[in-house]
Amino acid sequence: MSKIHILGIAGTFMGGVAALARELGVTVEGSDQAVYPPMSTQLEQLGIGLKQGYLAENIAADADEIVVGNALSRGNAAVEQVLDDGRRYTSGAQWLAERVLPGRTTLAVAGTHGKTTTTTILAFLLQAAGRDPGFLIGGVAEDFGTSARLGGGREFVVEADEYDTAFFDKRSKFVHYRPAVAILNNLEYDHADIFPDLAAIQRQFHHLVRTVPRAGRLLVNGEDAHLAQVLAMGCWTPVETFGLDASALAIARADGGAGFDWSARLLEADGSAFVVRHRGEDVGTVHWPLVGRHNVMNALAALAAAHAVGVGPAQVIPALAGFSSVKRRLEVLGTRGGVTVYDDFAHHPTAIRTTLEGLRAKVGDAHRIIVAMEPRSNSMRLGAHADALAPSLDLADAVVFLHRPELAWDAGKVIAAVRGDAHAAPDTGALLETLRATVRPGDHVVFMSNGGFDGAPRRFVAMLAQ
């Protein structure tokens, strides 16, 4: 039996790699700097040994291969020892491409926003159709209880990230996957730590487009002008579009028809009910627990991808009524004293805005929305989104920022530009006290961070219970 050590095992992607390796019968161990739910819980349930810190001595001498996460760079003690010892190493994306994807029909979900939710919806639809898909999702899917599994069917659904692969491979992770079907959900500037501009990200997306065969399918957000520019670089695969706003049509249908191939007619303003249309024909009505225009778009993309591998929308649309989504995607942690607390994985102003739009449509104007925000992503910390951050929070009645010392941008400027009440707290304890003094019955409090936030969301639920 082979043995691997995963450096960065608590990351959502690498934790999924660990789960797949265990299922293949590989002995798995790993190490990481920051360990927090939900991945820490998944690793614990899998019985995977986890060591704290990137130390050379944490890597077992009998490990056959080291799988290196993209959070590690040259200069890291564990990385330097692996190189000095001449040990065999690879990236998580390469490991997946070599050990799991051969012989499978790979469906890849790419985009700046919505990858995790869309990947989960697609896996859920294929499961509802009896396909028993494998998957690797950048979060723990509530409906499956895990972020990854091999599955017994032919299809494998993978969240396809544009972030770079490893310190030794600066291509986007998604170029490794060679999908038969690819969703391009949207494209905006992000990852300011590795991409100098939007054009650099578009080039990586075009590398993905180049790998999809002519017998495959590209499902593309037809409203997105940045994706239209990517396809204009060259496209050799049939394209189907999805979208809601016909006036925003950026990508024409391949057959010359008018409008989107896949569209929706909202029955509820919050997106909890809508009619799905394919080529102008109604094919089913979705009633589900998710809210927001962005999630309607995610559903259209997933239905189109399932259709591309032979799953009719009418066959699986009824199942969406029981869809539970993903942990940390506007996840309700509890209601205490009339205050509802949510945990949301927020990393970009557009995602913040669309999440708050969906919540506002659901709760109405009579209830206050209060946001607790940790600007934690590399782009946020570098200030790449500072100008767009305040407008993205327009639907919040109050905002409390966790302003850690390492933030490079002027938080005061952002706070001054927020429409509602806004404050900064120097640490998590102060942030929680500010929230406790602010909330009243009927409020909806949304914690937004793409990291652990020092456990603040659950700590706040406990505070309210007292």
CATH code of 279's domain: 3.40.1190.10
Domain shared by 87 and 110, yes or no? no
- pLDDT for position 69: 94
Look at the chain and count its residues: 466
Higher-pLDDT residue of 188, 77: 77
Give the sign of the dihedral formed by CA 390, CA 396, CA 400, CA 402. negative
- pLDDT for position 287: 95
Domain shared by 287 and 146, yes or no? yes
**Number of domains into which the chain is organized:** 3
Higher-pLDDT residue of 450, 367: 367
Q: What is d(CA 47, CA 104) in angstroms, rounded to the nearest whole number?
A: 27
What average pLDDT does this structure show over 141-167? Answer: 93
Q: What is the pTM of this model?
A: 0.79
Domain shared by 342 and 310, yes or no? no
What average pLDDT does this structure show over 156-169? Answer: 94
- Residue 415: enclosing H or E segment and its boundaries? helix 411-417
Q: Is the pLDDT of residue 256 over 80?
A: no
Of 171-180, 340-349, 402-411, the least confident: 402-411
Indicate the SS3 state at residue 49.
strand
Q: Where residue 448 falls among pLDDT bands split at 50, 70, 90? A: confident
Place of tokens 């487009």: 209
Final residue belonging to a domain, choices 93, 118, 150: 93
Show the domain range for 241: 101-322
Using a 10 angstrom Cβ sphere, with 0-12 exposed, 13-18 middle and 19 or more buried, the burial of residue 251 is buried
The three-point CA angle 322-323-326 to 5° equals 150
What is the DSSP code string of 203-219?
HHHHHHHHHS-TTSEEE
Mean pLDDT of the chain: 88
Q: What is d(CA 18, CA 423) in angstroms, rounded to the nearest whole number?
A: 40
- pLDDT for position 145: 87
**Residue 219: beta bridge partners?**
183, 240
Q: Is the pLDDT of residue 377 over 70?
A: no
The three-point CA angle 122-128-133 to 5° equals 55
Q: Is the pLDDT of residue 151 over 80?
A: yes
Domain shared by 109 and 224, yes or no? yes
CATH number at 412 reads 3.90.190.20
- pLDDT for position 376: 65
Domain shared by 34 and 158, yes or no? no
Which tokens belong to 157?
Answer: 């659904």
Domain shared by 34 and 81, yes or no? yes
Domain shared by 142 and 280, yes or no? yes
- 46-63 pLDDT, tens per residue? 888 788 899 999 999 999
**Which letter does DSSP use for residue 321 in this model?**
G
- pLDDT for position 215: 97
- pLDDT for position 386: 60
- 388-418 pLDDT, tens per residue? 787 888 888 888 888 877 666 666 777 777 7
Domain shared by 342 and 269, yes or no? no
The three-point CA angle 293-299-303 to 5° equals 150
Q: Where residue 379 falls among pLDDT bands split at 50, 70, 90? A: very low
Q: Is the pLDDT of residue 419 over 90?
A: no
Which tokens belong to 415?
Answer: 């706070």
Q: What is d(CA 121, CA 297) in angstroms, rounded to the nearest whole number?
A: 11
Q: Is the pLDDT of residue 68 over 60?
A: yes
Share of the chain above pLDDT 90, in %: 55
Domain shared by 127 and 193, yes or no? yes
- 185-236 pLDDT, tens per residue? 999 867 666 678 889 999 999 999 999 999 999 999 999 999 999 999 999 9
Say if CB 444 and CB 342 are below 8 A apart: yes
What average pLDDT does this structure show over 374-387? Answer: 58
CA-nearest of 69, 179, 155, 124 to 302 is 124
Q: Is the pLDDT of residue 315 over 90?
A: yes
- pLDDT for position 402: 87
Q: What is d(CA 234, CA 128) in angstroms, rounded to the nearest whole number?
A: 35
- 87-144 pLDDT, tens per residue? 999 999 999 999 999 999 999 999 988 899 999 999 999 999 999 999 999 888 888 9
What average pLDDT does this structure show over 303-326? Answer: 94
- pLDDT for position 327: 66
Q: Where residue 267 falls among pLDDT bands split at 50, 70, 90? A: very high
- pLDDT for position 452: 74
CA-nearest of 102, 139, 109, 137 to 328 is 139
Q: Is the pLDDT of residue 350 over 80?
A: no
